[in-house]
Amino acid sequence: MQKYIIISTILFLSMESNQLLDYLPAAPNKILDIGCGTGELTAQIAAKGFNVLGIDQSNNMIQKAKLNFPNLDFVQGNILHMQLEQGSFDTVFSNAVFHWINDQQTLAMKIHTVLKPGGLLVCEFGAEGNIKTISTAFSTELNLLGKAYYSPFYFPSVSEYTTLLKQNNFEIITAYDYPRPTTLKEGYSGLSNWVKQFFAADLVKLDDPDTVMKHLEDRLEDKLWKDDHWEADYHRIRVVAKSI
């Protein structure tokens, strides 16, 4: 019988993303970092003795990564369309990226293709219920204007995502979700700055986005304002799975 552990909910007040690195196997090991951004976690992986390639769809992010860490390998590209050699990586790593990708079936197939048999997927991203308080309040504000909010994100349950992986020839080693309340920087402006980034496509369609933003702050203040900062209601899924 294949052995795996699924923990439905673990309560943590906070957890640093670099703790995800503890799930990596022992070095040396060839690792693909999907959605590496400006390269900070990629550099931490390399510092542990791994041979790591960082990829990101954003050319701007990749240029910053190359500037920050000139001795590491970074490539700009979309993982769904990149031509990577079959079985060329021991581990695929990704932090806070997969919820931006809608075509999860193709992603799972792609990851399985680039992994060696027995290779690991180590990932974390937004889970079911992620930013529910914020997105519900934002949806309410749009409804008052006769508009609807449709989430562009993929926030799966543990069961949903592990089922997808098993359908694509992965054995689940560990999978759980947990609340991760996250401080939004820059004081009272933090929520506004966050919304302008994550709900940008909806805001550009509004005649008076500043008023909507003020109403949103008023609606969320009792729930998410904590003394001197906003605390976003993040909820994460963390998964380690083996290619079979």
Above 90 in pLDDT, residue 15?
no
Across 147-163, average pLDDT = 97
pLDDT above 70 as % of the chain? 93
**Least confident residue range of 4-18, 102-116, 217-231:** 4-18
Sequence-distant (≥ 6) Cβ neighbours of residue 204 within 8 angstroms: none
Q: State the average pLDDT over residues 229-244.
A: 98
Contacts 24+ apart (CB under 8 A), 40-48: 40/68, 41/17, 41/93, 41/95, 42/69, 42/72, 42/74, 43/68, 43/69, 43/72, 44/18, 45/21, 45/93, 46/72, 48/21, 48/24
- The per-residue pLDDT for 6 is 33
pLDDT in tens, 175-228: 999 999 999 999 999 999 999 999 999 999 999 999 999 999 999 999 999 999
Q: Is pLDDT at 39 greater than 50 in this prediction?
A: yes
Mean pLDDT within 74-93: 97
Specify the pLDDT at position 100.
95
Average pLDDT taken over every residue of the chain: 92
Residue 27 confidence (pLDDT): 86
Residue type, 129: G
Distance from C-alpha of 9 to C-alpha of 236, rounded to nearest angstrom: 10
Helices (H) and strands (E) in the chain, counts: 8, 11
| Residue 76 to residue 107: CA distance in whole angstroms | 17
Number of domains in the chain: 1
Residue 93: strand pairing partners: 33, 122
User: Which residue would you say has higher pLDDT here, 210 or 6?
Assistant: 210
Q: pLDDT value at position 91?
A: 98
Give the pLDDT of residue 18: 62
Structure tokens at 82: 């990149």
Q: Does pLDDT of 12 surpass 60?
A: no
Rounded CA gap, 239 and 176, in Å? 7
What pLDDT score was predicted for residue 17? 52
Can you give the residue range of the structural domain that contains 205?
A: 5-243
Here the CATH number for the domain that contains residue 170 is 3.40.50.150
CA angle (15, 244, 130) in 5-degree steps: 30
Report H helices in the chain: 40-47, 59-68, 104-114, 132-144, 158-167, 189-198, 200-203, 209-224
The answer to whether 108 and 80 have CB atoms below 8 angstroms apart is no
pLDDT tens digits along 143-154? 999 999 999 999
Of 5-9, 123-127, 128-132, the one with minimum mean pLDDT is 5-9
211/218 Cα distance (integer angstroms): 11
Contact present, 243 and 115 (Cβ < 8 Å): yes
Taking residues 113-118, what's their average pLDDT?
98
| pLDDT over 80 (residue 9) | no
Give the pTM.
0.90
What is the distance between the alpha carbons of residues 37 and 59, in angstroms, rounded to a whole number? 9
